[in-house]
Amino acid sequence: MSSKHESRTIRRGKGRAAVAMFAAVAGLVLAGAPAATAAPASTAPIDLVDPGSGSSFHGTAAFSNRSVTVAGTFHAVGCRRFYAAPHAGSKQLDIKSTSLHCNSTTQENMPLAANVVGGANFVRVALTDANGVGVGKDIYRP
């Protein structure tokens, strides 16, 4: 082997070793860094009572970047349904409801899609009777 060829090989070897060492050091530095996490959801309380029937829903609306989760206790007097619908401005993004509950108390958890940039800015909640008549209100993202 010529000395010219040997020096290229050595230089290449040193370059590869330097790259490997840099990668190892960077890995050690980055290994100590905490993992990136999504911003925490902002949560708003929900206290909805139908004074006519005594039915109620007490819980929270957890707003995330592209979803809203409504969770809480649904107390039905007579036969009632609970609805939740996230909105971005005037546009409804999703809607879910419980089945018809009669004289019962249940725990509800409703994940709702809000698949627009920034997610929903409010969720409309309602308690209705079997005919769709009832009360509702808007719960705004904090």
The total domain count for the chain is: 2
Please, which contacts does 94-100 make with residues 24 or more away whose CB atoms are closer than 8 Å?
Answer: 98/74, 100/130
Name which residue leads in pLDDT, 51 or 31: 51
Same structural domain, 118 and 85: yes
Percent of the chain with pLDDT over 90: 70
108, 122: one domain? yes
| 83-94 confidence digits (pLDDT tens) | 999 999 999 999
**Within this chain, do residues 29 and 53 fall inside the same structural domain, yes or no?**
no
pLDDT tens column, 56-106 = 999 999 999 999 999 999 999 999 999 999 999 999 999 999 999 999 999
* 16-31 mean pLDDT: 39
Which tops the pLDDT comparison, 105 or 22? 105
- CATH number for position 119: 2.60.40
Flag whether pLDDT at 25 surpasses 70.
no
Q: Based on the domain organization, do 115 and 59 belong to the same domain?
A: yes
75 vs 81: CA distance, rounded Å = 10
Residues 31 and 46 in one domain: no
- Quote the domain boundaries for residue 30: 1-37
